[in-house]
Amino acid sequence: MDEEIKIPYIKENIIRCLCPTCPVQENSTCAKEKMMNFQELLQSEDDPKPVDYPGMYCANGKAECEDIETEKNCLCNECMVYKEFSLENAKPDFLYCSDGKAMKK
């Protein structure tokens, strides 16, 4: 059985996440609407929930937004979270937004 890579879904990682700038979701109305509340989420004492933030798919799995364009190139390999957790050695290795959270190979 595949073993999940534990990537903490915390503000520190969310801030470093590149998903909001990724071409995969640049035309997503759903993602843009979720990002409108981003500053408010950051001001909260609690960490955001995956349903509230369009990103960190390597940690939480597939996107809630259905209007993302997974045929576009993603930015995972440029992301600091990807690098810190050595996700080049994970499966899937890109497009967590459609293929699910990072797992050990």
The conformation of residue 44, written as its DSSP 8-state character, comes to S
pLDDT attached to residue 42: 83
Residue ranges covered by each domain of the chain: 11-104
Task: Tell me the pLDDT of the chain (105 aa) as tens digits.
Answer: 578 899 999 999 999 999 999 999 999 999 999 999 888 888 888 888 889 899 999 999 999 999 999 999 999 999 999 999 999 999 999 999 999 999 998
Kind plus residue range of the DSSP H or E element containing 97: helix 96-99
CA–CA separation, 105 and 103 (whole Å) = 6
